[in-house]
């Protein structure tokens, strides 16, 4: 594995985000550097050719990621724990002793361990954290009324939303992604977080056929707007009456197009959450 990296002034960050943090791209990391004037972008490439191309296009640096570095990255506990309401702590640590410590420090919250890996969804991206917050809020109603609920997570990445759903008490959880690496990562995270009762499989949303007679109380889809728009009718059909649909990963400039596509399926008046350049929506089916 090769890593292309470059340090640039903060003003350039949006350009690099647009180029490398598209939601079908899961191999780039952007880190703000101390002083908040510069950031570092790192893109993890499977082959040297791919990394060399980035070096030729943007300058910067190229290095080979040695197995031991990769292991260190995966074991990283350097990311600060992320708090989601009073319900979850997301940590990058996969060490049992550290997780125990975090659990003790944040009593009453479930700890979700998602080490850095080549899949999207460590909790620190706005789109993921908004989905997590919405999940916590929406599911309170089911818990309060002692009602069973089910969840399907489309484009699961690391599996973080599916894992959170299971911890929140979902009776049935299913998730899929078209990226086989993401599926491997999600499976590992599901085991690591001791939420084994989740069906996880590889599928492309464009080809996905929701099972007849199965409808979901909650569907989460944190995917780019063009993928959502093309598949909203199918997603809508898989949603149970009064079901909740959480859409995220929508760039502000695509907000209107998603609302228009949703209207065609009779989904109306979403709650809209804007964070930076990202938009998330919560729809309720009649
Ligand atoms: C932004 S990530 C979301 C990951 C995670 N659910 C979260 O909320 O952090 C989008 C995920 O959708 C997957 N994806 C993109 N297009 C897809 C498609 N057509 N079918 C299935 N998965 C897709 C990507 O591989 C990626 O893992």
Please state the atom number of ligand 1 nearest to the C-alpha of residue 206.
19
| pLDDT value of residue 198 | 97
- Clarify whether residues 137 and 265 are in a common domain: yes
Is residue 100, in this structure, part of any structural domain at all? no
| pLDDT value of residue 71 | 45
Q: Domain range holding 144?
A: 121-284
- Clarify whether residues 55 and 131 are in a common domain: no
Q: Which residue's CA is the closest to the ligand 1 atom numbered 8?
A: 128
Q: Which residues contact 11 (CB under 8 A, 6 or more apart)?
A: none
Pocket probe for ligand 1: among 155, 180, 234, 254, the residue whose CB has the most ligand atoms within 8 Å is: 155
- Clarify whether residues 61 and 139 are in a common domain: no
Is residue 217, in this structure, part of any structural domain at all? yes
Show which of 26, 48, 65 is a domain's final residue: 65
- Clarify whether residues 130 and 256 are in a common domain: yes
| pLDDT value of residue 154 | 98
Q: Which residue's CA is the closest to the ligand 1 atom numbered 4?
A: 157
- Clarify whether residues 265 and 141 are in a common domain: yes
Q: Rounded to an integer, what distance in angstroms lies between the CA atom of residue 199 and that of residue 151?
A: 11
| pLDDT value of residue 66 | 66
Distance 14 CA to ligand 1 centre (A): 21
Copy the structure tokens of residue 251.
């760039």
| pLDDT value of residue 77 | 47
- Clarify whether residues 227 and 153 are in a common domain: yes
| pLDDT value of residue 78 | 59
- What is the pairing mode between strands 61-64 and 2-9? antiparallel
Tally the domains of the chain. 2
Distance 107 CA to ligand 1 centre (A): 31
Q: Which residue's CA is the closest to the ligand 1 atom numbered 1?
A: 23
- Clarify whether residues 229 and 143 are in a common domain: yes
Distance 158 CA to ligand 1 centre (A): 9
Is the separation of the CB atoms in 145 and 124 below 8 Å? no
Strands (E), 76-235: 82-84, 88-91, 110-113, 150-154, 172-177, 198-202, 216-222
Pocket probe for ligand 1: among 223, 224, 275, 279, the residue whose CB has the most ligand atoms within 8 Å is: 223
Is residue 80, in this structure, part of any structural domain at all? no
Pocket probe for ligand 1: among 22, 135, 136, 157, the residue whose CB has the most ligand atoms within 8 Å is: 157
**10-residue mean pLDDT series, the chain (286 residues):** 88 83 63 76 84 91 69 54 94 90 93 89 91 98 97 97 98 96 94 95 95 92 94 96 96 93 95 93 96
| pLDDT value of residue 74 | 45
| pLDDT value of residue 241 | 95
Q: What is the DSSP string of 185-199?
A: HHHHHHHHTT---EE
Is residue 165, in this structure, part of any structural domain at all? yes
């Amino acid at each position: 594995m090769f890593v292309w990296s470059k340090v640039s002034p903060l003003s350039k960050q949006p350009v690099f985000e647009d180029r490398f943090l598209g939601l079908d791209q899961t191999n780039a990391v952007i880190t703000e550097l101390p002083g908040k004037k510069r950031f570092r972008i790192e893109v993890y490439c499977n082959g040297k050719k791919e990394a060399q191309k980035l070096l030729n296009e943007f300058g910067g640096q190229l290095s080979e990621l040695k197995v031991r570095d990769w292991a260190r990255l995966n074991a990283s506990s350097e990311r600060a724990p992320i708090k989601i309401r009073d319900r979850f702590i997301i940590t990058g640590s996969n060490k049992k002793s550290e997780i125990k410590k975090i659990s003790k420090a944040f009593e009453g919250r479930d700890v979700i361990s998602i080490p850095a890996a080549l899949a999207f969804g460590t909790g620190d991206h706005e789109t993921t954290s908004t989905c997590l917050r919405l999940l916590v809020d929406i599911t309170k109603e089911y818990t309060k009324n002692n009602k069973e609920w089910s969840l399907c997570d489309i484009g699961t990445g690391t599996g973080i939303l599916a894992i959170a759903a299971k911890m929140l008490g979902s009776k049935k959880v299913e998730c899929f992604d078209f990226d086989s690496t993401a599926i491997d990562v999600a499976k590992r995270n599901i085991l690591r977080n001791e939420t084994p009762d989740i069906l996880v499989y590889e599928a492309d949303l464009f080809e996905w056929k929701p099972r007849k007679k199965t409808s979901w109380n909650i569907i989460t889809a944190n995917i780019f707007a063009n993928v959502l728009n093309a598949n909203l009718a199918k997603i809508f059909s898989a949603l149970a009456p009064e079901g909740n649909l959480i859409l995220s990963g929508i760039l502000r400039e695509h907000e209107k197009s998603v609302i228009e596509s949703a209207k065609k399926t009779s989904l109306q008046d979403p709650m809209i959450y804007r964070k930076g350049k990202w938009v998330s929506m919560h729809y309720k089916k009649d």
